[in-house]
Each structure stands twice: as C-alpha cells, then as structure tokens.
Chain A
Amino acid sequence: EDQVTQSPEALRLQEGESSSLNCSYTVSGLRGLFWYRQDPGKGPEFLFTLYSAGEEKEKERLKATLTKKESFLHITAPKPEDSATYLCAVQAGGYGQNFVFGPGTRLSVLP
C-alpha cells in the first residue's frame, strides 16, 4: 500500500533559525514527489516537484531534496511569512492519477 508520512507534526522556529521537514514514503514506482504550502483556510499551493533520487530544487529560502525513501524540505533563515502547513505528496505508478498526500507539518516562525 502506498503511504506517506511527515515529521514533525508541528514545528516552532524563531525567525532566522534554519531547520528541515521530513517526508517519508513507500510507493510502488515513484513517478513524482510534490511539495505544497497550505495557508489556513486556503487550498494547497504548489512549491516543487522532484522526480529522481539526488535531485534538488530551490526557491527563495526553501530547498527540497529527494532520496529513494524520503524527501526533505530545508528552510534557511525562515521569516514569519513562511508560517504555514507544508504538504508532501507522491504520485505512484499504476494508473498514474494516484496522488497520495501526507498529513503535513505545521510550521510556525516566531518574530
């Protein structure tokens, strides 16, 4: 069974305090791993797609990396506006529309 877990469930950081969020997955044939940001009361907003182990993507203070079993979202010198829930999703093989989401990590960045 395809499964995605995320840790920690919640994370509080001081502004400027760098950290990493983890996404672990077990899927039958990974076709893509996606990171989204979700603000309270809104729909998820796309951040990155990773396809193969060793791949890295960067956007402002965020950097996503991928191994064969997990992905990390590194946040460098976060600001309060980075506070949100970060969702990880995998697209598994098979019929190709099977997107499995993790429960998310709720990030709070304090000024």
Chain B
Amino acid sequence: NAGVTQTPKFQVLKTGQSMTLQCAQDMNHNSMYWYRQDPGMGLRLIYYSASEGTTDKGEVPNGYNVSRLNKREFSLRLESAAPSQTSVYFCASRGGFSSYNEQFFGPGTRLTVL
C-alpha cells in the first residue's frame, strides 16, 4: 500500500516550458487535491477534485490546469512555466465526505523555474 505517490521528485524548467506533475493514490479515495507550499506561507490549494469526473478551482489556480484521469490519478499541468511557479507541490487525497476525514499527502515535487 503505497498511499499517495508523486512524480517527478525534482524538476528544473526554463521560463515558458510546459510540464505535467503526476499523482496517484491507491486508497480508493474520492477526493484529490493539488497544493503549493512556499517559504513562510501555508499550503495553498490550487485545484481539487471532489470525485472522479469533477474538478474545481482553489485559491491559486492561475497558470495551472488539472485532469482527473480516473479515480486513482490526478495530474497538474503547467502550460507555460513562470519563475513565480517555483515551489514545492503536494498532492493529497481524502476518503469519504465526513468532516472528520483527514487528507493524506504525497512526498512532494520540488519545481524550480529559471
């Protein structure tokens, strides 16, 4: 049982390049999330998917797109990377809809945009 996995672990891009961050969970969770974490700031929600087939914007969606490929996989795409997108990106998943259900996080992708 791997939990939440993310690829790649590290990535360096040049301004204007595109890339897709991959996330998968094996816990049969309905909800999946993408966050970014910057120094001195809390985790900020980029996009989430409450269930397979649905996606919604979070607090900081500009410059990103997402795809909920199936129940297991949720990808984050940067179409034209900018230095402001240098950050650590975390994927999370959550089972059920109870307020008591916590999120499970992946190990993160450290992205640098030059």
Instruction: Judge whether B4 and A104 touch: CB under 8 Å.
Output: no
B2: CB under 8 A from chain A?
no
Interface residues of A in 7-52 (CB under 8 A from B): 31-32, 34, 36, 41-46, 49, 51
Residue in A42, A46, A49, A102 whose CB lies within 8 Å of B108: A42
Does B40 lie at the interface of the complex (its beta carbon under 8 Å from any beta carbon of A)? yes
Number of interface residues of B (CB under 8 A): 25
Interface size on A, residues (CB 8 A): 26
Q: Chain A, 53-64, contact with B by CB distance < 8 Å: what is the 0/1 string?
A: 000000000000
A32 pairs with B99, CB closer than 8 A = yes
Question: Are A31 and B99 within 8 A (Cβ)?
Answer: yes
Question: Is A87 part of the binding interface, using a Cβ–Cβ cutoff of 8 Å?
Answer: yes
Q: Which residues 1-45 of B have a CB within 8 angstroms of A? A: 4, 31, 33, 35, 40-45
The docked-state distance in angstroms from the alpha carbon of A51 to that of B50 is 21
Interface residues of chain B, those whose CB is within 8 Å of chain A, are 4, 31, 33, 35, 40-45, 48, 50, 56, 90, 92, 97, 99-100, 102-108
